[in-house]
């Protein structure tokens, strides 16, 4: 059971849930999400960005990077993360980079997409085990972190809210019997 | 000691601008008294003072800080509230600047506003009447002291308050949860109705209804019906939920009899033992540090439970460290809150064609069903009610329970996840003498005022009813066909429900109580305390509506007495 969302349901009237995840980082306005240079090397940054687009690629809607997730990643990793979170993130990222050399004999970024996907799958396999409910806000290694950051950055971006999802700023009413078929997407409000 | 201001034009001083202060100011000024309101917090304007209202989520405003470190350093207590974020931080107390004292092993969460409007800005708006089941309980059980009032004393004032604030809800005809003057109820969604029917089908003595909330479903003068945008706690410029800023303060201003002074911290009250009256209010300007004294015919303390009692405790006489208001020894004691964060949630299979539209600022309510007709023999007295809601899991949860990544993963998140139903209990805490607040002997705040120190523990009765809260929540979810039921019973912290009350209780006997049946101090005829401090027991329902009714009633009494020359 994923407590965060369930607690959010409760929080409507019960209140009191403070998420430790990066979800609070989305409260920082776009213009103020200024990454600190040098925390990520150019290669690390490029690989993290590539992974974001593997996680949410362009389909009939834009990809993660097209939605501005790259800037979100830079900001959270270099500014928002605590040192211990950054350490876990980089350890997993560097492990993947080394595996890229040892297994495929090349830089991650130069590999064909199918190999990049295989490597990211291997990264996922090292972490999540068989229980999909084992994911946690600040748990897991590189894969869980890059996935959480990508998903959070994407769905809370303007693209994620208005193109991937449906944003209705002023619903004007509540309808508890509304049909999903009438919207066909997630609400963004 | 500051200069004594000329006060001929001030008939009444109201300390605090929150839910009860707003009501005191409205009622006093509408009765023709010249009112001065003193608010410790910063100024705030209705509408323009609200941050992020109706802003799209991708452009959320804040002040560019790094909130995680800032929260840990300066808002470690306040940031535990669901209503604390970058859009509301300016409403809340800065914990670093305004410390209080408690022991690590005995924590107390003092959630505290620091702005005009007080916690009426970010309250959860649930509005329920007490019943005689509540008012008679202390006397019947010999716990605490008897309430000096009964439901019939407060009923007309509940009506009076409800009509002005606007409460939407469903009349149910229950003795333990009296109906009020309701606007049309908000809807329960399809799954909530399913769960409600299943609960009553299995447990005929239990009902589930839509929450009764001070959020408008029909317009009132100067206030629009709710537009269901969602984040109420940021403030509502259309006044669709009741707050001091949207409702009572404008009414007070309209009389021409009302003046508000923000950044005005009340340090203590001066007492004249010969006349048995409060002779002056000592005020410190929180910006300039300047000290001032005001006097008035009537003083209404509406500074919140802890705030008002801190002022009273700090109001000692020249040759004593005992407050003039503490002849009973009850001042600062018998503090209560509600138990919460116990209950259960689960997945409700089916109903996948439904996906509610709009952000309903309200949930469901299951009124108390324990010990309603005598002692149920469950090993605890009094009872609890549930709040909660049903909804569908969304991308933030589903992304974590959906393995993999890529186009299929993205496509899979386009549909909402399964329905969940959550039930969380709010339970009555008994009045214990040892649950208390006092002034620290040496620690002082930045204004030189002794810090509040807390001691709060939960008793056997609370532990036992919480076990039942969890057990019955599971049983009701099972009756509704829920799967993956997840019971929860998290560690209790005093004050965390933000329903702290007691510490200056009402009662007939000045040897046992601080206030009489009209919220008038036994020790001072011109002093009234009408916030949560006055409570002699806690019921299990959300308390704010009762505070408002007590306030309106107390003003009516005070002005009548003043005009009769009895004050």
pLDDT per residue over B166-222, tens digit each?
A: 999 999 999 999 999 999 999 999 999 999 999 999 999 999 999 999 999 999 999
Assigned token pair, A16 = 């009191």
Q: What pLDDT score does B270 carry? A: 96
Half-sphere CA count of A94, side-chain side, radius 13 A: 8
* d(C-alpha A44, C-alpha B433), whole Å: 60
Q: Element (H or E) spanning B159, and its range? A: helix B151-165
Q: Which residues contact A66 (CB under 8 A, 6 or more apart)?
A: A58, A159
Range of the domain at B380: 171-239+338-428+457-493
**Which residues of chain A make contact with B60, given a CB cutoff of 8 A?**
26-29
A-proximal residues of B, 470-529, CB under 8 Å = 484, 486, 496, 498
Q: What pLDDT score does A128 carry? A: 57
Q: What is the C-alpha R_g of chain A?
A: 18
Whether B318 and B462 share a structural domain: no
Assigned domain for B550 exists:
no
Whether B107 and B141 share a structural domain: yes
Low-confidence ranges of chain B (pLDDT < 50): 1-2, 6-7, 61-65
**Strand pairing partners for B422?**
B345, B389
Burial B119-153 (b: 16+ CB within 10 A, else e): bbbbbbbbbbbbbebbbebbeeeebbbbbbbbbeb
Query: Do A9 and B496 lie within an 8 Å CB cutoff?
Result: no
Interface confidence, given as ipTM, is 0.92
**Which residues of chain A make contact with B404, given a CB cutoff of 8 A?**
121, 124
Range ranked top by mean pLDDT from A70-79, A142-151, A164-173, B56-65: A164-173
A-proximal residues of B, 166-195, CB under 8 Å = 186-190, 192-193
What's the pLDDT tens digit per position in B515-542?
Answer: 999 999 999 999 999 999 999 999 999 9
Q: How far off is chain B from A45, nearest CA to CA, in Å?
A: 19
Q: Are B40 and B263 in contact (CB under 8 A)?
A: yes
Q: What pLDDT score does B320 carry? A: 86
Assigned domain for B452 exists:
no
Query: Do B58 and A180 lie within an 8 Å CB cutoff?
Result: no
pLDDT at A22 > cutoff 80: no
Q: How far apart are the first and last CA of chain B?
A: 27
Query: Do B406 and A55 lie within an 8 Å CB cutoff?
Result: yes
Report domain extents, chain A: 24-182
* d(C-alpha B461, C-alpha B431), whole Å: 11
* d(C-alpha A93, C-alpha B279), whole Å: 70
Whether B522 and B438 share a structural domain: yes
Whether B400 and B378 share a structural domain: yes
**Strand pairing partners for B115?**
B42
Whether B383 and B489 share a structural domain: yes
| Phi, psi values for residue B212, rounded to 5° | -95, 115
**Identity of the residue in B62, B341, B353 whose CB atom sits nearest the CB atom of A14:** B341
Whether B249 and B235 share a structural domain: no
A-proximal residues of B, 321-350, CB under 8 Å = 340-341, 343, 345, 347
**Angle B66-B118-B269 from CA coordinates, rounded to 5°:** 120
- If one counts every other C-beta atom within 10 angstroms of the C-beta of residue B383, the result is 26
Whether B290 and B357 share a structural domain: no
Half-sphere CA count of A147, side-chain side, radius 13 A: 31
- Mean residue pLDDT across chain A: 81
A-proximal residues of B, 392-411, CB under 8 Å = 393-397, 399-407, 409-411
User: Assign residue B42 a region: left if phi > 0, alpha if psi is -120 to 50, beta otherwise?
Assistant: beta
pLDDT bracket for residue A30 (50, 70, 90): low
Q: What pLDDT score does A80 carry? A: 85
Query: Do A24 and B68 lie within an 8 Å CB cutoff?
Result: yes
Q: What pLDDT score does A34 carry? A: 67
- When divided into structural domains, chain B yields a total of 2
Measured between CA atoms, the residue of chain A closest to residue B218 is: A173
Assigned domain for B196 exists:
yes
Q: Give A80 or B95, the one with higher predicted confidence.
A: B95
Whether the CB of A36 is below 8 Å from some CB of chain B: the reply is no
Whether B374 and B358 share a structural domain: yes
Q: How far off is chain B from A125, nearest CA to CA, in Å?
A: 10
| Phi, psi values for residue A95, rounded to 5° | -60, -40
**Which residues of chain A make contact with B214, given a CB cutoff of 8 A?**
none
Q: How far off is chain B from A124, nearest CA to CA, in Å?
A: 8
Whether the CB of A19 is below 8 Å from some CB of chain B: the reply is no
Share of chain A above pLDDT 70, in %: 75
* d(C-alpha A52, C-alpha A142), whole Å: 12
What CATH number does the domain containing B14 carry?
A: 3.50.50.60
Nearest to B412 by CA among B422, B402, B420: B402
* d(C-alpha B383, C-alpha B539), whole Å: 8
SS3 B119: helix
| For testing contact with chain B, the best of A10, A36, A81 (most B CBs within 10 A) | A10
Whether B179 and B282 share a structural domain: no
* d(C-alpha A105, C-alpha A102), whole Å: 6
Q: Are B229 and B359 in contact (CB under 8 A)?
A: yes
**Angle A72-A35-A155 from CA coordinates, rounded to 5°:** 5
What's the pLDDT tens digit per position in A2-19?
Answer: 333 333 333 332 222 333
């Amino acid at each position: 059971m994923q407590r965060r969302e369930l607690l959010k349901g409760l929080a409507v009237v019960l209140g009191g849930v403070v998420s430790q995840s990066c979800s609070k980082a989305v409260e920082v306005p776009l213009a103020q999400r200024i990454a600190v240079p040098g925390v990520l090397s150019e290669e690390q940054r490029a690989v993290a960005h590539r992974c974001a687009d593997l996680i949410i690629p362009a389909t009939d809607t834009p990809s993660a990077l097209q939605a501005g997730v790259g800037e979100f990643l830079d900001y959270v990793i270099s500014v928002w993360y605590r040192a211990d979170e950054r350490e876990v993130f980089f350890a997993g990222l560097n492990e993947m980079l080394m595996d890229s050399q040892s297994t495929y004999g090349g830089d991650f970024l130069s590999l064909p997409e199918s190999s990049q996907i295989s490597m990211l799958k291997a990264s996922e396999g090292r972490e999540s085990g068989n229980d999909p409910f084992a994911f946690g806000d600040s748990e897991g290694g590189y894969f869980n972190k890059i996935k959480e950051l990508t998903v959070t950055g994407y769905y809370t971006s303007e693209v994620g809210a208005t193109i991937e999802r449906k944003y209705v700023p002023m619903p004007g009413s509540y309808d508890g019997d509304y049909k999903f078929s009438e919207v066909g997407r997630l609400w963004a409000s | 000691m500051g200069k004594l201001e000329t006060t001929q034009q001030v008939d009444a001083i109201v300390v605090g601008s929150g839910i009860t202060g707003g009501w005191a100011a409205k009622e006093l000024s509408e009765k023709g008294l010249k009112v001065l309101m003193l608010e410790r917090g910063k100024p705030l304007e209705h509408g323009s003072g609200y941050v992020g209202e109706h802003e799209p989520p991708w452009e959320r405003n804040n002040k560019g800080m790094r909130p995680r470190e800032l929260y840990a350093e300066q808002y470690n207590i306040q940031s535990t509230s669901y209503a604390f974020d970058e859009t509301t931080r300016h409403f809340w107390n800065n914990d670093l600047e305004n410390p209080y004292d408690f022991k690590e092993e005995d924590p107390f969460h003092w959630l505290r506003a620091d702005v005009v409007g007080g916690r009426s800005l970010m309250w959860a708006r649930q509005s329920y009447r007490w019943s005689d089941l509540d008012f008679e309980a202390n006397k019947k059980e010999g716990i605490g002291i008897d309430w000096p009032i009964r439901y019939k004393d407060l009923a007309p004032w509940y009506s009076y308050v409800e009509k002005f604030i606007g409460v939407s809800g469903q009349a149910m005809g229950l003795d333990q949860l009296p109906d009020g003057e309701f606007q049309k109820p908000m809807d329960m969604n399809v799954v909530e109705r399913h769960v409600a029917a299943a609960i009553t089908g299995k447990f005929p003595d239990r009902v589930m209804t839509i929450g009764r909330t001070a959020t408008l479903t029909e317009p009132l003068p100067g206030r629009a019906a709710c537009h269901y945008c969602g984040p109420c706690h940021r403030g509502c410029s259309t006044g669709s939920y009741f707050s001091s800023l949207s409702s009572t303060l404008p009414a007070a201003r309209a009389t021409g009899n009302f003046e508000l002074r923000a950044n005005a911290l009340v340090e203590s009250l001066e007492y004249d033992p010969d006349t048995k009256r409060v002779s002056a209010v000592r005020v410190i300007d929180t910006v300039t540090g300047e000290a001032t004294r005001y006097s008035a015919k009537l003083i209404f303390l509406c500074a919140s439970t802890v705030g008002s009692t801190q002022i009273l405790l700090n109001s000692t006489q020249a040759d004593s460290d005992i407050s003039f208001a503490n002849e009973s020894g009850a001042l600062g004691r018998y503090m209560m809150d509600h138990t919460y964060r116990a209950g259960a949630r689960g997945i409700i299979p089916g109903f996948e064609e439904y996906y509610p539209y709009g952000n309903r600022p309200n949930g469901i309510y299951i009124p108390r069903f324990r010990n309603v007709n005598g002692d149920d023999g469950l090993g605890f007295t009094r009872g609890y009610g549930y709040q909660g809601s049903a909804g569908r899991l969304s991308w933030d949860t589903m992304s974590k329970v959906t393995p993999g990544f890529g186009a299929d993963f993205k496509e899979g998140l386009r549909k909402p996840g399964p329905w969940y139903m959550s039930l969380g209990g709010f339970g009555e805490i008994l009045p214990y003498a040892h649950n208390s607040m006092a002034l620290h002997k040496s620690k002082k705040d930045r204004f030189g005022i002794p810090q509040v120190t807390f001691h709060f523990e939960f008793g056997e009765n609370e532990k036992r009813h919480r076990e039942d809260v969890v057990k019955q929540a599971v049983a009701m979810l099972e009756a509704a066909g829920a799967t993956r039921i997840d019971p929860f019973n998290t560690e209790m912290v005093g004050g965390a429900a933000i329903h702290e009350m007691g510490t200056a209780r009402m009662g007939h006997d000045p040897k046992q109580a601080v206030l009489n049946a009209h919220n008038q101090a036994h020790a001072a005829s011109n002093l009234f305390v009408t916030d949560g401090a006055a409570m002699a027991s806690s019921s299990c329902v959300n308390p704010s509506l009762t505070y408002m009714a007590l306030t309106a009633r107390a003003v009516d009494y005070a002005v009548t007495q003043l005009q009769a020359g009895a004050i």
